[in-house]
């Protein structure tokens, strides 16, 4: 899909769903994170005892933020995104940006705790055993060996995709908290909602996209994972469908379906918006309605590269129960 023609940059995610914390509110979130760090459950976000504490703590986030999260969970809006600004990330205390593959944050640092508190308030943060070593907080950072790959460690243009489109229990929501921007300030996260793209498609293409004529492979970030059986790209309500597609990993199984898939890609590119995340910004996207990607950028691998924390949220924690590999929220 020609994402390189996508240059009608909007200054920010176009959505009613955005909240900028006041400095006072940011200080409150910082204090909450610091309190949780001192808890006897210890400073490891993957520890089930820490998680159990993070849930009640998340109820003490600033009320304005709680209201925005509650609203978003029920009504993600036409863009399917929520942007939260001015979150605490302890910028002065940040170590060098990691650059190894499969990088994660297991320590209860201020930014990792902030991402977890917000994720736990929206639903249940979870992970996959075969991706990022099963850790709940992922580092999205450029990795030299992955520079040209279609993965979160790449720096070439990343095509529009649902996160883990191949997986039956893919996340409902994805959160991306920016710790550092790229050097040039041009790495744009792309968001495109089927709620907006659907009206650009005709009924014949919509019907094809609703038929099981597509297969999707696991992404390169997954170290194991089966290609799907034939699936629909659009599912559920006729007026407000869910989407399941990865323009790098989904293939049509016949020519007619391939044409419909290309037209869907064009429609999504047309309504996409681009957001250059800044430190302290956390963007959520509804992975049932929104595909996302990223423009290319130029890493320097100097410890100061772009750095996001990523969390996956399930709204129904029981849905993936048969895929759980232990007592914690990690799925096979």
Ligand X SMILES: O=C(O)CCC(=O)C(=O)O
Give me the least distance between CB of 139 and ligand X, in Å please: 10
Q: Is 161 annotated as a binding residue?
A: yes
SS3 state at 242? strand
According to CB under 6 A, which one of 132, 180, 294, 309 is a site residue for ligand X? 294
- Please report whether residue 309 would count as binding ligand X according to CB under 6 A: no
Toward Fe ion, which CB reaches closer, 118 or 249? 249
| Torsion angles phi and psi, residue 292, rounded to 5 | -135, 165
> What is the Cα–Cα distance from 36 to 24, expressed in whole angstroms?
19
Q: Is 30 annotated as a binding residue?
A: no
CA 136 to chain centre: 12
According to CB under 6 A, which one of 19, 110, 158, 311 is a site residue for ligand X? 158
- Residue 158 touches which of ligand X, Fe ion, none (CB < 5 to 8 A by kind)? ligand X
> What is the Cα–Cα distance from 132 to 46, expressed in whole angstroms?
13
CA 37 to chain centre: 25
Q: Where in 152-191 is the site for Fe ion (CB under 5 A)?
A: 163
189-193 vs 290-294, strand pairing mode: antiparallel
Give me the least distance between CB of 17 and ligand X, in Å please: 18
Q: Where in 276-305 is the site for Fe ion (CB under 5 A)?
A: none
Give me the least distance between CB of 50 and Fe ion, in Å please: 26
- Residue 294 touches which of Fe ion, ligand X, none (CB < 5 to 8 A by kind)? ligand X
On the CB side of 284, CA atoms within 13 Å amount to 33
> What is the Cα–Cα distance from 283 to 13, expressed in whole angstroms?
9
For the four alpha carbons of 143, 48, 58 and 88, in that order, the dihedral sign comes to negative
According to CB under 6 A, which one of 121, 152, 216, 250 is a site residue for ligand X? 152
Binding-site residues sit at 161, 163, 292
* Residue ranges in contact with ligand X by CB under 6 A: 140, 152, 158, 163, 176, 189, 292, 294, 310
């Amino acid at each position: 899909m020609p994402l390189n023609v996508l240059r009608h940059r909007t200054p920010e995610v176009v959505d009613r769903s955005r909240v900028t914390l006041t400095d006072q509110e940011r200080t409150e979130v910082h204090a909450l994170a610091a309190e949780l760090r001192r808890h006897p459950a210890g400073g490891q976000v993957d520890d089930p005892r820490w998680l159990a504490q993070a849930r009640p703590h998340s109820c003490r986030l600033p009320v304005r933020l709680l209201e925005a999260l509650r609203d978003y969970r029920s009504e993600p809006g036409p863009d399917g995104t929520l942007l939260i600004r001015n979150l605490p990330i302890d910028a002065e205390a940040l170590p060098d940006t990691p650059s190894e593959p499969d990088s994660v944050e297991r320590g209860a640092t201020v930014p990792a705790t902030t991402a977890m508190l917000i994720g736990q308030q929206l639903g249940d943060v979870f992970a996959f055993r075969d991706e990022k070593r099963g850790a709940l907080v992922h580092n999205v950072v450029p990795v030299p060996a992955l520079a040209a790959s279609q993965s979160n460690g790449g720096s070439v243009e990343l095509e529009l995709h649902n996160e883990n489109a191949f997986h039956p229990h893919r996340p409902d929501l994805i959160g991306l908290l920016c710790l550092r921007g790229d050097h040039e300030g041009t790495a744009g996260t792309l968001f495109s909602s089927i709620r907006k793209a659907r009206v650009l498609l005709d009924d014949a293409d919509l019907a094809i996209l609703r038929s099981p004529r597509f297969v999707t492979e696991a992404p390169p970030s997954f170290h194991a994972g089966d290609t799907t059986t034939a699936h629909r790209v659009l599912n559920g309500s006729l007026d407000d469908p869910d989407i399941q597609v990865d323009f790098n990993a989904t293939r049509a199984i016949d020519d007619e379906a391939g044409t419909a898939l290309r037209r869907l890609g064009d429609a999504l590119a047309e309504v996409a918006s681009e957001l250059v995340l800044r430190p302290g910004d956390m963007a959520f996207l509804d992975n049932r309605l929104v595909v996302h990607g990223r423009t290319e950028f130029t890493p320097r691998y100097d410890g100061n590269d772009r750095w996001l924390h990523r969390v996956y949220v399930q709204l129904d924690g029981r849905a993936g129960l048969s895929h759980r590999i232990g007592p914690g929220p990690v799925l096979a």
